């Protein structure tokens, strides 16, 4: 059932017209001839949307609108008006109506108005949810995508969610390694405990050591007070070490001790602190190659690599681009108070063809930029970054070259078999129908 609708009009023909048209669309419709009957029905049933005629005896549509909105402020309302009452209909929108339709109207107009109202409400609810997430300081801890590569990731999460094992995540920058780590944490028995993130490549070694292990007061110049380390802060939860390949040999030894002995020691202290943590590490490098180059300790690699999950690049899962576009569009609509509904066909094609060397993070940055710049409800290709258009030009040129080569190849095969199309199709490895389409396409 799509939704429940109340139609209120003193004209029996309009009541019947609207009721029949919307019922055939799958909506559950009730009808009332005046405001009194409408209020009685509304008290007995719940409705998602009301169609209200403005001009009715005793209580008009505007007054009924106010009454119904007091009873249910989330109710969607569409006003039905004759041409002379257009100004009144506009006033009704200020009172909380979503839209109005003017008599005479067609069945398509009424269906479209109702569909728009429900679509708007659905988007509004999604945006409210996203706004709550943004206010909490995060965007989404869930992975997005349904491509074969992402299905492999979901299976890996399913395999490790009931365990406490160490996980190593490999993948290019921007693929969502932290999102994957957070998702693993959220599906674990530690989900209600801390999830602590630190980028090992973003800090110099001395500062990284202090951040991870903490220090005692006076342990070094500038240590004016005691500081708890992140390993302590993550106790009973999960610590995520991003870009673990950037750690120094000395730090790698200390990480190995954490994994082997489950203890930490603050700088300047002689006391070990027992730890109960799960460790997830990530790198944008092939860590086994780093071991071969002697840039990374082999024993630490094998302690981290209990379960290895490789996060795919966006180039490897391009079929996920449309759903990612929808997600980021909704998110930045909320952030920047926009009401952009989608992308033009040309813009969508450009975004689907681009290779995204910066992966999902680059796609997100592009969408944030175009949402800010767009003055239309539909994002046009003109406001996309030049880099996406440049790649499109290269692809278009390559496609032209490929098509030219295909045309020459088909001509040669046809000449070879004296234009016997069945033989030509067999040699080309295609069916006769496809061959005929290509002959027509190339004007052969």
CB 26, CB 1: distance < 8 Å:
yes
Token pair of 220 as six digits: 């070094």
Long-range CB pairs of 213-222 (<8 Å, 24+ gap) are 213/254, 213/264, 213/265, 213/266, 213/267, 214/264, 214/266, 214/267, 215/266, 215/267, 215/268, 215/269, 216/266, 216/267, 216/268, 216/269, 217/268, 218/268, 219/266, 219/267, 219/268, 219/269, 220/267, 220/268
Domain that holds residue 434: 390-441
pLDDT value for 136: 46
Distance CA 206, CA 225 (A): 17
- pLDDT, tens digit, 9 for 90 and up, residues 412-441: 677 767 778 877 776 666 777 788 888 888
Q: What pLDDT shows up at residue 183?
A: 92
pLDDT tens profile 193-238 = 999 999 998 888 878 888 888 878 776 777 667 788 889 889 999 9
More confident residue, 152 or 410: 152
Question: End of a domain among 310, 327, 362?
Answer: 310
Share of the chain above pLDDT 70, in %: 86
Q: What b/e string do you get for 191-201 counting C-beta neighbours within 10 Å, with b at 16 or more? A: eebebbbbebe
Give the end of a domain, one of 250, 280, 310. 310
Q: Within this chain, do residues 408 and 367 fall inside the same structural domain, yes or no?
A: no
pLDDT mean over 250-269: 89
Q: How many residues does the chain have?
A: 444
- Residue 331 falls inside a structural domain: yes
Does 243 have pLDDT greater than 70? yes
Domain at 176, CATH number: 3.40.50.300
Q: Which of 26-35, 63-72, 82-91, 179-188 has the lowest mean pLDDT?
A: 82-91
Residue at 142 is within a domain: no
CATH of the domain at 44: 3.40.50.2300
Assigned domain for 174 exists: yes
Q: Cβ(353)–Cβ(345) under 8 Å?
A: no
In angstroms, the CA 222 to CA 216 distance is: 11
Residue 197 DSSP code:
E
Residues 166 and 304 in one domain: yes
- Across the strands, what pairs with 239? 196, 279
Q: Are residues 107 and 237 in the same domain?
A: no
Kindly state whether residues 202 and 233 are assigned to the same domain.
Answer: yes
Distance CA 90, CA 243 (A): 57
* Mean local confidence (pLDDT), 169-181: 94
| pLDDT at residue 295 greater than cutoff 90 | yes
Q: CA-to-CA distance for 111 and 132, rounded, in angstroms?
A: 32
Structure-token match 């590490």, residue found: 281
Long-range contacts (CB closer than 8 Å, 24 or more residues apart) made by 207-215: 208/247, 208/251, 209/251, 209/254, 209/267, 210/267, 212/254, 212/264, 213/254, 213/264, 213/265, 213/266, 213/267, 214/264, 214/266, 214/267, 215/266, 215/267, 215/268, 215/269
Identify the CATH number of the domain in which residue 320 sits: 1.10.8.60
Confidence class for position 387, pLDDT limits 50, 70, 90: low
Residues 76 and 209 in one domain: no
Tell me the Ramachandran region of residue 126: left when phi exceeds 0, alpha when psi lies from -120 to 50, beta otherwise: alpha
Indicate the number of domains in the chain: 4
- Does one domain contain both 167 and 290? yes
**Does the structure show a pLDDT above 60 at 9?**
yes
Report the sign of the C-alpha dihedral through residues 257, 261, 263, 268, in that order: negative
**pLDDT score for 175:** 94
> In degrees, to the nearest 5, what angle opens at C-alpha 25 toward C-alphas 20 and 26?
100
78 and 216 co-located in one domain? no
| Cβ atoms of residues 151 and 317 within 8 Å | no
Q: Are residues 158 and 220 in the same domain?
A: yes
pLDDT of residue 172 exceeding 70: yes
pLDDT band at 129 (very low <50, low <70, confident <90, very high): low
The pair of structure tokens assigned to 333 is 């609509």
Is the same domain home to 201 and 84?
no
Of 283, 310, 337, the last residue of a domain is 310
In a domain, 284, yes or no: yes
Query: pTM (2 decimals)?
Result: 0.59
Q: What are the phi and psi torsion angles at 35 (to 5°)?
A: -65, -40
Pick from 84-93, 175-184, 185-194, 395-404: least confident: 395-404
Residues in contact with 169: Cβ distance below 8 Å, sequence separation at least 6, in sequence order: 177, 180, 181, 280, 281, 282, 283, 308, 309, 310, 311
> In angstroms, rounded to a whole number, what is the distance separating the alpha carbons of residues 163 and 185?
11
Residues 168, 235, single domain; the answer is yes
Averaged confidence pLDDT in the chain: 85
The answer to whether residues 127 and 15 belong to one domain is yes
If asked whether residues 163 and 290 sit together in one domain, one would say yes
> Quick check: 140 pLDDT over 80?
no
């Amino acid at each position: 059932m799509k939704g429940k609708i109340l139609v209120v009009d003193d004209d029996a023909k309009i009541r019947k017209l609207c009721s029949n048209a919307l019922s055939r669309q799958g909506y559950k419709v009730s009808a009332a001839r005046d405001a009194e009957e409408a209020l009685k029905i509304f008290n007995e049933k719940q409705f998602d949307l009301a169609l209200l005629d403005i001009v009715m005896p005793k209580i008009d549509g505007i007054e009924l609108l106010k009454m119904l909105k007091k009873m249910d402020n989330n109710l969607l309302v569409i006003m039905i008006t004759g041409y002379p009452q257009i100004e009144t209909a506009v006033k009704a929108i200020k009172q909380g109506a979503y839209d109005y339709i003017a008599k005479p109207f067609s069945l398509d107009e009424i269906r479209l108005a109702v569909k728009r109202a429900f679509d708007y409400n659905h988007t509004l609810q999604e945006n409210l949810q996203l706004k709550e997430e943004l206010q909490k300081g995060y965007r989404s801890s869930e992975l997005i995508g349904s491509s074969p590569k992402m299905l492999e990731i979901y299976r890996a999460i399913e395999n490790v969610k009931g365990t406490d094992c160490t996980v190593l995540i490999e993948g290019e920058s921007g693929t969502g390694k932290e999102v994957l780590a957070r998702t693993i944490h959220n599906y674990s028995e530690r989900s209600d405990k801390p999830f602590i993130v630190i980028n090992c490549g973003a800090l110099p070694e001395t500062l990284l050591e202090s951040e991870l292990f903490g220090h005692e007061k006076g342990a070094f110049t500038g240590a004016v007070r005691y500081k708890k380390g992140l390993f302590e802060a993550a106790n009973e939860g999960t610590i995520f070490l991003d870009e673990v390949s950037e750690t120094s040999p000395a730090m790698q030894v200390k990480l190995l001790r954490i994994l082997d002995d489950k203890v930490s020691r603050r700088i300047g202290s002689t006391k070990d602190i027992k730890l109960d943590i799960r460790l997830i590490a990530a790198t944008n490098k092939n860590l086994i190659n780093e071991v071969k180059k002697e840039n990374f300790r082999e024993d630490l690699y094998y302690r981290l690599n209990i379960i290895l999950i490789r996060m795919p690049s966006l180039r490897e899962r391009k079929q996920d681009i449309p759903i990612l576009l929808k997600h980021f569009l909704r998110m930045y609509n909320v952030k920047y108070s926009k009401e952009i509904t989608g992308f033009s066909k040309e813009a969508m094609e450009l975004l689907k063809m681009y290779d995204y060397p910066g992966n999902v993070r680059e796609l997100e940055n592009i969408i944030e930029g175009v949402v800010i710049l767009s003055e239309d409800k539909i994002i046009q290709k003109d406001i996309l970054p030049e880099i996406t258009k440049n790649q499109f030009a290269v692809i278009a040129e390559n496609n032209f070259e490929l098509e030219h080569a295909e045309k020459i190849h088909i001509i040669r095969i046809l000449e070879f078999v004296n234009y016997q199309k069945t033989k030509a199709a067999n040699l080309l490895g295609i069916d006769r129908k496809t061959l005929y389409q290509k002959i027509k396409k190339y004007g052969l």
